[in-house]
Amino acid sequence: MALNREPRRLTVLGATGSIGRATLDLIAEAPPGTFVVEALVANGNAEALAAAARRVGARLAVLADDAALPALRSALAGSGIRAEAGPQAVLAAAAIPVDWTMAAIVGAAGLPATMAAAAGGGILSIANKECLVCAGAMLRRVAEAAGTTLLPADSEHNAIFQALDRTAPASVERIVLTASGGPFRDWPAERMRAIRPQDALNHPVWRMGAKVTVDSATMMNKGLEVIEAACLFPVPPDRIEVLVHPEAVVHGIVQYVDGSMLAQMGPPDMRVPIAHTLAWPRRMATATRRLDLASLGRMTFEPPDLERFPALTLARQALAAGGAAPTILNAANEVAVQLFLDGRIDFLGIAALVAAALDRLGAPAAPDLEAVLEADAAARRTALALAAGPAFA
């Protein structure tokens, strides 16, 4: 691959996660000299971060958790790789000027670092959809002021990005985000209350981190993606459609005013959209499995069941309410997913808790990052208090 400017210097935020590892696989497999890894960032997993940093020859490894610094230092001893820790060190690493950054910290916890990367120029590849849900307009403004190019790594949004004619936004009639439907796509409603964490973590198609896997099972993931799409693309929410497509090979579709539909297809493997952003505006070779359409045979599409998956409607309501409502939706959902994984609420309680938090807090104004972070904290407190109350006992 010949990129515009070789080698491409880069940073990976969330380097030890599912997206971070997929990104580092692509980097490690690229011809030598294609990429230089400036910094890798994770939360507390010192062993995994040190191994990743050694594998790709990173210059700097940073953990958000101060307490894990001794373990990181010892795991990197003799490597020449610098080790740092703490929230300020994470921000400083994200702000190092590079050509390309992967934003793949999970949850709204990734917002400050992603903002810092957006202010630094270069390309910002965004997997961390929660950032766009909470502060998409702000992130775009910061990126624009700094000359940073935002590229979506989320597979559906990457598909839309590839199929969208950005020179003629008025010619776009609607966009379609596909959803695999998750493990409970065809479960009857009465079975769904008894869903256990291990059932929800067993996604039929994608292998991902725990939080996004549970989000896929509730379809909150698709709800967050509708908000993400409204932020990234010049299409109003009522023209952003969701279609369940269990084969998960068509990732997104753009329909134009002349009736044409352009779809992006590929194997359900996150390395494909990540590689698209990693090499952009060119393309790089990947060793991913190729899609064999003849053996696939058929593709199916169906509308989502909004009765059994109310999270999708909640997300649309939060998007319509505006202000900090999407932040509240997201924060309450992060709390609810963790409570479900800890066995403290049932599966249907996830959407119920999010709905209750939205009812309680409404849609306060969120003019700046401070207000967004305050709304996030208030929603977490409210969701925890509601979960301890009689409705969720």
- Binding segment for ligand NDP (CB under 6 A), chosen from 158-166, 209-217, 290-298, 305-313, is 209-217
User: How far does CA 319 lie from the centroid of its chain?
Assistant: 17
Which one-letter DSSP state was computed for residue 116? Answer: H
Using CB under 6 A as the binding rule, whether residue 123 contacts ligand NDP is answered as no
Q: Give the whole-angstrom CA distance, residue 383 versus residue 45.
A: 27
Q: Which is nearer to ligand NDP, 87 or 169 (CB)?
A: 87
Q: Which of 14, 252, 268, 326 binds ligand NDP (CB under 6 A)?
A: 14
The pair of structure tokens assigned to 175 is 């966009």
- Report DSSP letters for 268-307, one per residue: S-THHHHHHHHHTTS-----PPPP-HHHH-----B---TT
For 366, the token pair is 């969120």
The rounded distance, in Å, linking the Cα atoms of 212 and 334 is: 10
Binding-site member from 8, 9, 129, 185 for ligand NDP (CB under 6 A): 129
> Is 208 a binder of ligand NDP (CB under 6 A)?
yes
Query: Is residue 150 within the footprint of ligand NDP (CB under 6 A)?
Result: no
Query: CB under 6 A: which stretch of 91-99, 127-135, 178-186, 354-362 binds ligand NDP?
Result: 127-135
Choose the binding region for ligand NDP from 24-32, 51-59, 103-111, 177-185 (rule: CB under 6 A). 103-111
Question: Of these, 3, 10, 72, 127, which contacts ligand NDP (CB under 6 A)?
Answer: 127
Minimum Å distance from CB 362 to ligand NDP? 25
Q: By CB under 6 A, is residue 105 in contact with ligand NDP? A: yes
Contact flag: residue 45 with ligand NDP (CB under 6 A): yes
Starting from the edge strand earliest in sequence, which strands make up the sheet with 261-265, in order?
Answer: 240-244, 172-179, 250-256, 261-265
For the chain, first and last CA: distance in Å?
56
Output the six-digit token pair for 375. 């709304």
Between 221 and 255, CB nearer to ligand NDP: 221
Could you give the string, one character per residue 246-265, with x where binding to ligand NDP holds by CB under 6 A and - elsewhere?
--------------------
Work out the angle at residue 373's Cα, subtended by the Cα atoms of residues 229 and 236, and round it to the nearest 5 degrees: 20
Q: Among 11, 17, 230, 329, which residue sits at the site for ligand NDP (rule: CB under 6 A)?
A: 17
271-279 and 155-163 helices cross at what angle (nearest 10)?
A: 50
Q: Closest distance between ligand NDP and the C-beta of residue 276, in Å?
A: 13
Q: Which is nearer to ligand NDP, 3 or 272 (CB)?
A: 272
Tell me which residues in 53-92 interact with ligand NDP (CB under 6 A): 64, 90
Cβ proximity to ligand NDP: between 143 and 212 the closer is 212
Phi, psi of 24 (to 5 degrees): -70, -30
- 212 touching ligand NDP, by CB under 6 A: yes
Report if residue 41 touches ligand NDP, rule: CB under 6 A: yes
Q: Which amino acid is at 367?
A: P
Q: Which stretch binds ligand NDP (CB under 6 A): 123-131, 235-243, 258-266, 316-324?
A: 123-131
Closest to ligand NDP by CB, 3 or 229: 229
CA–CA separation, 57 vs 80, rounded Å?
Answer: 9
Shortest distance (Å) from residue 155 CB to ligand NDP: 6
Q: How far is CA 302 from CA 230, 243, 248, 257, 323, in A?
A: 22, 6, 12, 22, 32
Residue 148 vs 180, nearer CB to ligand NDP: 180
- Of 37-45, 163-171, 180-188, 326-334, which part binds ligand NDP (CB under 6 A)? 37-45
Residue 153 near residue 126, CB atoms below 8 Å:
yes
Tokens encoding 120? 């630094």
Would you list the DSSP string of 5-53?
SSSEEEEEETTTSHHHHHHHHHHHHSPTTSEEEEEEEESS-HHHHHHHH
- Return d(Cα 334, Cα 108) in angstroms, integer: 9
Taking CB under 6 A as the rule, does residue 104 contact ligand NDP? yes
Total residues at interface with ligand NDP (CB under 6 A):
30
Residue 20 binding ligand NDP, by CB under 6 A: yes
Note the residues at the interface with ligand NDP (CB under 6 A): 14-20, 41-45, 48, 64, 90, 104-106, 109, 127-130, 154, 206, 208-209, 211-212, 270
